[in-house]
């Protein structure tokens, strides 16, 4: 059966769009972490905070980012999505605020050579 | 209108979108859209349930979308969308003007050289799976160019040398990267052979003038086939445009 040449670009565009919109079906976090506070404060109401963080760009940086919150009170769960530079926090707003979270993200980190620099920057929070 | 201009138009739009992402203007890195990233992520997803390194769901969904496309329209993604193929095509057209008589690789050497893309495919997947890092990035000229040679995994002079060699190779061998090095092309190969939409040739009207063979960027000889099932055919339709005989080369839905 003869086919119009115009069908090819139409099919290509359809494949690209369907690929783009299918992404939700494959979404998985790069790292996930559940902290001890989840047990202590399980009766409290929790809040969800989604941040776009410059610097979370691969599994290594996502792991490093997660470590920043290891000792922080009030953070229950933390999921990173490196390809989107996105981090989702589940936290107890009575213990920690979104400004506190931003401060932890944007803190200066001391490296082995003694130098200090800011590694992560919060671009948006909601 | 020649199909080529329609194809170049679509490829230009896609290249602009990639550059938009490469300049950091989009919400994701341009790498997030690479379908081969979907292949690289499979082992990590299978063993740990997580994406490897900087890969994400979009890599995988783009791969799925494009593999379905390959089952319908062969390697149409390569010929109509891939910015790397677009670069290769443009370099080929420039090179045709500068070096009208380029060396032709034929015979057994042609077949053996084509195996190199499977080598790139297996090496890149093996080390990505083993190390959890996207090892191809350091040798990928397009990663280097789109990151301005400042990307996280760029290997300095090695990356620059590989980029220059691929540029030189593209001037002398049409679609050099696509033919011999592209691991995504190797991924498509088995799907491409099954593609339903392909170019067909009417043996009765074909004069075997070789116009189709001369223009084909992948050195396929459509005049030798009744149906062009060849794994390298990207359905770019250059051969149909070049054919001087009416209704001889046609795009058809075949099973």
Structural domains present in chain A: 28-125 (3.30.70.100)
Give contacts of A17 with chain B, Cβ < 8 Å.
65
- Lowest-pLDDT choice from A41-50, B28-37, B194-203: A41-50
Give contacts of B50 with chain A, Cβ < 8 Å.
28-31, 59
Intervals of chain A under pLDDT 70: 36-44
Q: What is the helix (H) or strand (E) element at residue A124, kind and residue range?
A: strand A121-125
- Which residues are within 8 A (CB) of B224 and not within 5 positions of it... i.e. 6 or more apart? none
Q: How confident is the model at residue B91 (pLDDT cuts 50, 70, 90)?
A: confident
What is the per-residue pLDDT for A40? Answer: 52
User: To the nearest whole percent, how much of chain B has pLDDT over 90?
Assistant: 39
What is the per-residue pLDDT for B65? Answer: 95
- CATH label, B196-253, candidates 3.50.50.60, 3.40.50.300, 3.30.70.20, 3.30.70.120: 3.30.70.20
Contact across the interface for B80 and A8, Cβ inside 8 Å: yes
List pLDDT tens digits, range B143-158: 787 777 776 666 677 8
Contact across the interface for B28 and A24, Cβ inside 8 Å: no
The Cα–Cα gap between B127 and B135 comes to: 7
What is the per-residue pLDDT for B60? Answer: 93
**Which among B35, B54, B66 is the nearest to A82, CB-wise?**
B54
| CB-based burial label for B253 (10 Å; 0-12, 13-18, 19+) | middle
Left, alpha or beta for B134 (phi > 0: left; psi -120 to 50: alpha)?
A: beta
Is A126 touching B (CB cutoff 8 A)?
Answer: no
Q: Between residues B148 and B112, which one has the greater pLDDT?
A: B112
What is the per-residue pLDDT for B98? Answer: 86
Q: Which of A26, A56, A66, A81 is the best residue to mutate to test the B interface, defined by the most B CB atoms within 10 Å of its own CB?
A: A26
List pLDDT tens digits, range A101-113: 999 999 888 888 8
**Which among B50, B237, B253 is the nearest to A28, CB-wise?**
B50
Residue B16's alpha-carbon distances to B20, B30, B159, B204, in angstroms, are 6, 11, 23, 43
Give the number of A-B residue pairs with CB atoms closer than 8 Å.
Answer: 132
Which residue ranges does chain B devote to CATH 3.30.70.20? 196-253
Residue B104 has pLDDT above 60, yes or no: yes
What is the per-residue pLDDT for A2? Answer: 75
First-to-last C-alpha distance (Å) of chain A = 53
What is the per-residue pLDDT for B139? Answer: 79
What is the per-residue pLDDT for B50? Answer: 81
List pLDDT tens digits, range B205-241: 999 899 999 889 888 888 888 999 898 999 999 999 9
Question: How far B106 CA sits from the closest chain A CA (Å)?
Answer: 30
Give contacts of A50 with chain B, Cβ < 8 Å.
none
Question: How far B33 CA sits from the closest chain A CA (Å)?
Answer: 8
A122, A113 contact by CB (below 8 A) = no
Model ipTM value:
0.88
């Amino acid at each position: 059966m003869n086919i119009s040449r115009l069908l090819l670009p139409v099919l290509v565009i359809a494949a690209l769009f369907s690929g783009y919109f299918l992404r939700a079906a494959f979404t998985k976090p790069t790292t996930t972490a559940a902290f001890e506070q989840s047990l202590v404060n399980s009766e409290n109401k929790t809040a969800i905070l989604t941040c776009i963080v410059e610097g979370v760009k691969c599994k290594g940086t996502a792991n490093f980012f997660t470590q920043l919150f290891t000792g922080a009170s009030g953070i229950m769960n933390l999921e990173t999505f490196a390809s989107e530079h996105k981090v989702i926090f589940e936290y107890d707003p009575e213990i920690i605020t979104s400004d506190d979270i931003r401060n932890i993200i944007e803190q200066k980190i001391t490296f082995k050579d003694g130098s200090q620099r800011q590694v992560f920057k919060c671009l948006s929070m909601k | 209108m020649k199909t080529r201009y329609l194809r170049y138009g679509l490829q230009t739009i896609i290249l602009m979108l990639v550059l938009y992402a490469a300049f950091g203007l989009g919400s994701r890195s341009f790498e997030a859209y690479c379908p081969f990233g979907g292949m690289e992520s499979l082992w990590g997803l299978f063993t740990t349930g997580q994406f490897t390194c900087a890969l994400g769901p979009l890599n995988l969904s783009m791969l799925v979308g494009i593999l379905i496309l390959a089952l319908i329209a062969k390697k149409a993604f390569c010929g109509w969308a891939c910015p790397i193929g677009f670069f290769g095509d443009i370099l080929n057209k420039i090179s045709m003007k500068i070096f009208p008589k380029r060396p032709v690789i034929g015979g057994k050497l042609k077949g053996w050289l084509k195996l190199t893309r499977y080598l790139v495919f297996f090496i890149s997947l093996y080390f990505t799976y083993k190390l959890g890092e996207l090892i191809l990035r350091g040798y990928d000229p397009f990663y280097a160019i789109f990151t301005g040679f400042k990307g996280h995994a760029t290997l300095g002079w090695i990356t620059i040398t590989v980029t220059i060699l691929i540029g030189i190779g593209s001037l002398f061998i049409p679609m050099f990267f696509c033919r011999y090095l592209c691991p995504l092309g190797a991924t498509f190969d088995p799907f491409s052979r099954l593609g339903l939409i392909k170019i067909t040739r009417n043996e009765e009207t074909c004069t075997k003038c070789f116009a189709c063979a001369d223009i084909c960027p992948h050195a396929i000889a459509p005049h030798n086939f009744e149906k062009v099932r060849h794994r390298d055919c990207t359905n770019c339709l250059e051969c149909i445009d070049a054919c001087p005989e009416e209704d001889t080369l046609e795009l058809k839905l075949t099973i």
